[in-house]
Amino acid sequence: MALELKPENDEKVVRLIEKGVEIPNPLNLHIGGEVDIDRISGNGVKIYPGCRLYGDQTVIAPGAQIGQEGPVTIEDCQIGPRVELKAGYFKKAVFLEKAGMGSGAHVREGCILEEQANGAHCVGLKQTILFPFVTLGSLINFCDCLMAGGTSRKDHSEVGSSYIHFNFTPSGDKTTPSLIGDVPGGVMLNRPAIFLGGQGGMVGPLRLGYGNVVAAGTILRRDFLESNKLIIAKTHRAGIFPFVPDLYAGLPRVVENNILYMANLAALEQWYVHVRQPFLNAQELGRLIYAGVLDKLALAKKERIKRLRLMAEKIEASLKRQEEQIRSSAGKREFCDTVGLISELFSGEIVEESGLKARDSFLEAFSDHQKERDGTYVETVQSLPAGTSQKGTAWLQEIVDAISRRAAALLPSLNLFKGLTRPSG
């Protein structure tokens, strides 16, 4: 007697087809039993052969195109309108309207690709946030970054092919998030674009100002906060030198850049809560996509706090092993003792109550402008008067500054944020 095999996802595939989803080869689509079909739009969605959908948090909005160049695996992603995921693996990430990734993509948890952000083939991302229009070339590993800059698809920040963000130290740390641009200025979509030349790299944690062009083949190893510069970094001199693991000689800069990164995440969360939420809620399945963004921002903050705590544990152990001068170890001891308090700075009252006057002034002006110009989120922000954009930037910067001041007070021996320069542009 012949054995008749019936895929367990037959019913879900049939329901999708009945909703209007275009599935050229239904037998080559696998849908996990936990996937909620009501979270997948039937309006203009096309899922090509060989794709897999998993996760009860998966959302696919109208017009999304999945798997045009090869098989796609989606696991607990929120995919916005007209997103194109050509081929690859995507897990716990959000893609907003018209974002896209080419073949061989590997996009993992904590990623947010905002409107029209995109990557070519063989791009690896994790814990990375790309603001609208940011473009990644091919053969790129770009984890633990936030990148902004640019004003449109014709004027966008870009990362050249074969670029690496080095996010793992010889001591085994990942306290290496890099700010390429920033949130207070970047969300206004009016800052000069940033260009990272191909076959180059960036050693995190690092900060880079707007309008900068980094020459191809350059490895960035320090912050460049000035704007509109051509940067050609020197290479290391050859040699063999002693290496002492877990020394943490540059701890103040590492801690400072981590705090700034998380403070920018907190500011971005407030931007979504107060500005972006109504735009997303107006879209089909937009409320679910908005919830997905907040979830990814929470994941991002959790990841950064986890990495700080792990580094504190290593420093604690190194202090017991190494004989150091009291002066050089005081800041390290202070960091180990206060890392828990530092972690608490990025949620709660300090974030929600910072810059209230500036926030209310901006939101009022933003609302008035929106009434006069009925457009998408991107169109509305692009058309903001300069004065209104400045008010919004001032509000978000107050959040970043308030967190920075609190952190500096907890770590006086590290002398953080003295003469701090913001990314210009």
H-state helical runs in 286-347 = 286-321, 326-343
- Pick from 16-20, 249-253, 365-369: least confident: 249-253
> What pLDDT, on a 0 to 100 scale, did the predictor assign at position 422?
65
Which tens digit of pLDDT belongs to each residue from 124-156? 999 999 999 999 999 999 999 999 999 999 999
Peptide bond into 205 cis (omega under 30): yes
Cβ within 8 Å of residue 292, ≥6 positions away = 57, 59, 77, 78, 94
- pLDDT surpasses 90 at 267: yes
- Overall size of the chain counted in residues: 425
**What CA–CA distance (Å, rounded) separates 106 from 4?**
36
Nearest to 341 by CA among 406, 398, 402: 406
Instruction: Give which of 161, 83, 84 is closest to 122, Cα–Cα.
Output: 161
CB-CB contact of 120 with 138 (8 Å)? yes
Q: Which residue has the tokens 């991002």?
A: 300
Over residues 390-401, the mean pLDDT reads 97
113-117 average pLDDT score: 98
Q: Residue type for 275, please?
A: V
74: left (phi over 0), alpha (psi -120 to 50) or beta: beta
Q: Which residue has the higher pLDDT, 163 or 351?
A: 163
Per-residue pLDDT, averaged over 28-45, amounts to 96
Task: Count CB-CB contacts under 10 A for residue 357.
Answer: 10
Mean pLDDT of 391-403: 96
Q: What is the mean pLDDT of residues 317-329?
A: 65
Structure tokens at 394: 């001032």
Interatomic CA distance for residues 406 and 396, integer angstroms: 16
Q: In this structure, what token pair is assigned to residue 276?
A: 């972006």
Taking residue 165's Cβ as centre, other Cβ atoms within 10 Å add up to 26
367: left (phi over 0), alpha (psi -120 to 50) or beta: alpha
pLDDT tens, 162-186?
999 999 998 889 999 999 999 999 9
Cα separation of 136 and 101, whole Å? Answer: 9
Report pLDDT for 16: 95
Tokens of 173: 């740390």
Burial tier of 240 (Cβ tally within 10 Å: 0-12, 13-18, 19+): exposed
Tokens standing for 231?
Answer: 């940067």
83: phi then psi, degrees, rounded to nearest 5: -75, 145
